[in-house]
Structure 1
Amino acid sequence: MMLRRCLTGLVLALLPLAAAPAYAEVCATDDADREVCLPAPAKRIAALSPGATELVYAAGAGDKVVAVVAYSDYPPEAKQVPSVGSHTRMDLETLVSLAPDLVIGWVTGNPAEQLETLEALGMPVFYIEPRTVEGVAGAIERLARLAGSEAAGDAEAARFRDGMAELAERHAKAALVSVFYQVWDEPLMTVNDEHLIGQVVSLCGGVNVFGDLSRLVPRIDDESVLAADPEAIIAGGMGEENRHWLTHWEQYPSLTAVARDNLFFVPPSLIQRPTPRLLEGSRILCEKLETARARR
């Protein structure tokens, strides 16, 4: 309660700084199915996940970003923006002091109580969590609308849609490849077909061996992978050049993926963030599955 009172006082003190000239109201519906309206296009944006940061820049509003969180490393200029903690725990006092007039929250990644506190202080919070290719494109367009950068945002959304559509068409008749995608190592985790990564696997002509599981990101074990015997194993690892998750599977030479040397790495920032760079990650994943087909 004391923190909220202090933050409220800080917000009131900063209101003159956040004041903007009169414009037409701008509105967009977020991924929590809430209509968010601003009295004018946002001029000071806080992006509370690395993916949100990328999406705001993709929407042509990077120059308006005044706050990010840890690991917001793309585009490179985002690393120069003040960080207000991690996506799981923000420093609200620092965030409020930066006087954002729009906060981009992560539906399932940010602490709900912290986002609710920001809303109680009168800050508009726009929730995002794209779960489809169209969801990524739509998020770019909606953020561009709220930031007044529609021309740039709409162009980037169209580029992304067209690129993904071309990739899907190219692999529509490709021979199917059974795939295990490893999203984490301890505990061992994968994705189902509803997950955006699972959708990319399908787009590339892959069959996710754990696609039918009910959880979006299910926990599994080595025995489950051995029983499924995928033709290819794809992992992202914890870093852009880190392949060590794949070496774990080399202890199982009977696995088809190991026997055929179909252990593939895709940089996680290209495939595990719902941003336009998913197009680049999808191209790499599709290339890996083409390699697997050639090794039959």
Structure 2
Amino acid sequence: MKKCGAFLVIIFTAISIFTGCREKKVDTNGINRIVSLGPSATEILFAIGADKQLVACTDFCDYPAEAKTKASVGGFAANNISLESIISYEPDLVYLFSGMHDSLIKPLQDMGISVYVSKAASVDDVKKEIIEIGTITGHSAEAEDVVKEMNLLLAEARNKSAEAKKNGSSPLIYWQVWDDPLMTAGKNSFINDIITLAGGINIFGEENSDYPIISDEAVIAAKPQFIFISKASDNYSVTNNKIMFYAMKKDSGASVHYVNDDKFSRPGPRCAEAVQDLTKILYGLPR
């Protein structure tokens, strides 16, 4: 299912380029045909102007709209993508994800195909990755422009939250990543970085697990002021649980927000927009 695939993008997204266990730089000469195995990779390629080099992507690559006109190699997970399908597009470079596509790395490299392995765990990682991909694909100037625009959005969000916090403390946030089992964003997750940059406090931000499974009771005990529910979940509009009843109580002071999972969980250029959007929600600023 596409929603399940979107969730997997959250889990399996730092930057490094590997050959087995050894690090190896991608040959930047002659990168004319690229296969992207993830939505955020596709977004980055379009953002830096490398879309004409993109010959195929996945069923989940839906942004920008033009991405849907590209040929597809299948789903997001490695078991939904055949090596034969990738090879059929004669790529110079395959842009894939650590943890999700590990089984594809060595076979591709053994055939002489360059591989870029992405594992972005923070907004800073995303910016570094954009610069690296820009260099690899021959779009360094465009990549630098994208990162500059991201930095402007992030600085604006930082200034707005700092000004707003002069009149109060940082708001407490609960972020529901999945509904069954109930799952949230932990310390080292990409979403936790988004929350922190937006000037919020993740009530599970000290959990060592990236995406810990938690209980209704733990959420309620932390008394979040904002409850964000990701639309990646099949049943994201859950209304019959204790968390919702807590939010409905007048004395809870909590508000519930359903969020575009693509923008908030994909480690691509739009993550800076996500930080700014979240800042505006948390501090009641015009959107």
* TM-score, with structure 2 as normaliser: 0.83
Corresponding residue number in structure 2 for 1:93: 84
User: Relative to 1, partners in 2 of residues 1:212 and 1:163: Cα closer, same or farther, differing over 3 Å?
Assistant: same
Structure-1 separation of matches of 2:244 and 2:279: 26
**Amino acid in the other structure paired with 1:118:** L
**Amino acid in the other structure paired with 1:155:** D
User: Which stretches in structure 1 are left out of the alignment for 5+ residues?
Assistant: 1-28
Among 59, 63, 70, which residue is 2:48 paired with?
A: 59
Structure-2 separation of matches of 1:129 and 1:143: 13
1:37 Cα deviation from its structure 2 partner: 2.8
Give % identity: 28
1:48 Cα deviation from its structure 2 partner: 0.6
**Amino acid in the other structure paired with 2:198:** C
1:289 Cα deviation from its structure 2 partner: 1.0
Map residues 40-79 of structure 1 onto 2, 5 A cutoff.
40-79=29-68
Structure-2 separation of matches of 1:203 and 1:253: 27
Map residues 42-191 of structure 1 onto 2, 5 A cutoff.
42-88=31-77, 89=79, 90-110=81-101, 112-173=102-163, 174=165, 175-191=169-185
Among 15, 22, 27, which residue is 1:38 paired with?
A: 27
Corresponding residue number in structure 2 for 1:277: 270
1:30 Cα deviation from its structure 2 partner: 2.5
**Amino acid in the other structure paired with 1:75:** P
Residues 59 and 141 of structure 1 are in contact (CA less than 8 Å); yes or no, is this contact kept in structure 2? no
| Structure with higher RCO (Cα < 8 A, 6+ apart) | 2
User: Relative to 1, partners in 2 of residues 1:264 and 1:246: Cα closer, same or farther, differing over 3 Å?
Assistant: farther
**Amino acid in the other structure paired with 1:183:** V
Structure-2 separation of matches of 1:224 and 1:176: 20
1:247 Cα deviation from its structure 2 partner: 6.6
Is 1:225 matched up with 2:214?
no
SS in 2 for 1:43: coil
Residues 246 and 252 of structure 2 are in contact (CA less than 8 Å); yes or no, is this contact kept in structure 1? yes
User: Which stretches in structure 2 are left out of the alignment for 5+ residues?
Assistant: 1-14
Q: Compute the RMSD of aligned alpha carbons.
A: 2.5
Report how many aligned residue pairs link the two structures. 262
Superimposed CA distance per residue, residues 141-187 of structure 1 (whole angstroms, 9 cap, x where no aligned partner): 11111111112111111111221122123213523111101111111
Residues 153 and 273 of structure 2 are in contact (CA less than 8 Å); yes or no, is this contact kept in structure 1? no
After the TM superposition, which parts of structure 1 deviate over 6 Å for at least 4 consecutive aligned residues?
254-258
* TM-score, with structure 1 as normaliser: 0.81
Bigger mean CA offset, 183-192 vs 279-288: 279-288
**Amino acid in the other structure paired with 1:37:** V
Structure-1 separation of matches of 2:141 and 2:248: 49
Q: Which has the larger radius of gyration?
A: 1
**Amino acid in the other structure paired with 2:99:** T
**Amino acid in the other structure paired with 2:152:** D
Structure-1 separation of matches of 2:195 and 2:38: 24
Superimposed CA distance per residue, residues 17-65 of structure 1 (whole angstroms, 9 cap, x where no aligned partner): xxxxxxxxxxxx7366833231614100011111111111122201110
